[in-house]
Amino acid sequence: MTSQFTVACVQNSAIDDVAHNIRDVSELVRQAAGKSAEFVCLPEYFACLEKTDTLYLERGYRENDHPALAALRELAAELNIWMLLGSLAIKISDTKVNNRSYLVNAKGEIVETYDKIHLFDVVLKEGEAYKESNIVVPGDRAKTAELPWGTLGFSVCYDVRFPHLYRQLAQAGAQMLTIPAAFTATTGRAHWHVLVRSRAIETGCYVFAPGQCGKRPWGRRTYGHSIVVDPWGEVLCDGGEDRGIVLAEVDLDKVAEARRMIPALTHDRVIKDSAC
């Protein structure tokens, strides 16, 4: 098993038109494959970003009926690449969805799924507020999966603020982490790079963080800046603010090297008493 491969992050600006977004993302995936990407990662909600949460229920899909899942599985098989479908809103009842990430292999088969654990319930400045838990049922399981090159750990967007999840994934064997996102422009400018680099440094993992970009007709802005970070915390590529793709060369031998130099994953201590 080789430890070296090329990863790509797709950066799109999804609107509330699933068919349009599938065409747009498929074009970007083809570009990435044309540049020798072997693993292509898509952002959170890459197939549809709705104006309000309730629209994910009114116009949403069950897993077996989702056109984006079917189309991207077929594309992965056609191009002979592995893909991370950052996340889709998957209806699980008339009132709830999961925010679900999919790992698809080069045959178009679903290898693993992950339901976002930590939900984005926040109030930002100037009336900008989000309450993902209105419609999303959180996941309750950390997940890893085997790729041809090594072990991948899953997360989605707001999960990035909970470092214990990533430590658990790394200690379970993950050498790579994914953080597909639709980060708000407000929080992205303040925190995105720091958080993603921190998760890489803390775990000695590569981190693949594809993000949505752009402004929607109803005003919502997403931050973009899809990045790949190496196990030492170096940003290998940055997608900036515009639609497109970024690529990076991955060498998983650098994971072992970083962990030899800073073996923090083996230094946990039990705190018996606390003054807090």
CATH classification at residue 55: 3.60.110.10
Q: How far apart are CA 94 and CA 224, in angstroms?
A: 32
Please check whether residue 270 lies inside any domain of the structure.
no
**pLDDT of 265 above 90:** yes
Using 50, 70 and 90 to split pLDDT, how confident is the model at 164?
A: very high
Site of tokens 């020798």: 36
Using 50, 70 and 90 to split pLDDT, how confident is the model at 125?
A: confident
Q: Which of 157, 205, 213, 254 is catalytic?
A: 157
Phi first, then psi: what are they for 208, rounded to 5°? -110, 115
What is residue 89's predicted lDDT score, i.e. its pLDDT?
Answer: 97
What is the model's pTM? 0.96
Q: Does 44 qualify as catalytic in the annotation?
A: yes
What is residue 52's predicted lDDT score, i.e. its pLDDT?
Answer: 87
Q: Which of 38, 44, 50, 132 is catalytic?
A: 44
Q: Does 91 qualify as catalytic in the annotation?
A: no
Q: How many domains does the chain have?
A: 1
Mean pLDDT within 151-176? 98
Task: Give kind and range of the element (H or E) at residue 118.
Answer: none
Q: How far apart are CA 95 and CA 21, in angstroms?
A: 24
**pLDDT of 129 above 80:** no
Q: Contact at 8 Å (CB) between 244 and 202?
A: no
Q: How far apart are CA 248 and CA 251, in angstroms?
A: 10
**pLDDT of 126 above 80:** no
What is residue 127's predicted lDDT score, i.e. its pLDDT?
Answer: 67
- Crossing angle between the packed helical segments 18-34 and 67-79, to the nearest 10 degrees: 20
Please check whether residue 227 lies inside any domain of the structure.
yes
Nearest to 105 by CA among 56, 42, 63, 147: 147
**pLDDT of 123 above 90:** no
Give the domain extent around 179.
4-264
Q: Which of 38, 48, 91, 116 is catalytic?
A: 116
Please check whether residue 276 lies inside any domain of the structure.
no
pLDDT tens digits along 63-121: 999 999 999 999 999 999 999 999 999 999 999 999 999 999 999 999 999 999 999 88
Residue 259: strand pairing partners:
none
Q: Does 202 qualify as catalytic in the annotation?
A: no
CA distances for 83 relative to 62, 65, 152, 218, angstroms = 20, 19, 12, 30
Please check whether residue 274 lies inside any domain of the structure.
no
Q: What is the mean pLDDT of the chain?
A: 96
Please check whether residue 109 lies inside any domain of the structure.
yes
What is residue 196's predicted lDDT score, i.e. its pLDDT?
Answer: 98
pLDDT tens digits along 179-228: 999 999 999 999 999 999 999 999 999 999 999 999 999 999 999 999 99
Please check whether residue 271 lies inside any domain of the structure.
no
Please check whether residue 275 lies inside any domain of the structure.
no
- Give the other-Cβ count within 10 Å of 17's Cβ: 13
CA distances for 261 relative to 194, 199, 257, angstroms = 21, 17, 6
What is residue 47's predicted lDDT score, i.e. its pLDDT?
Answer: 98
Please check whether residue 135 lies inside any domain of the structure.
yes
Looking only at the bridges linking them, the beta strands covering 221-223 and 213-215 are antiparallel
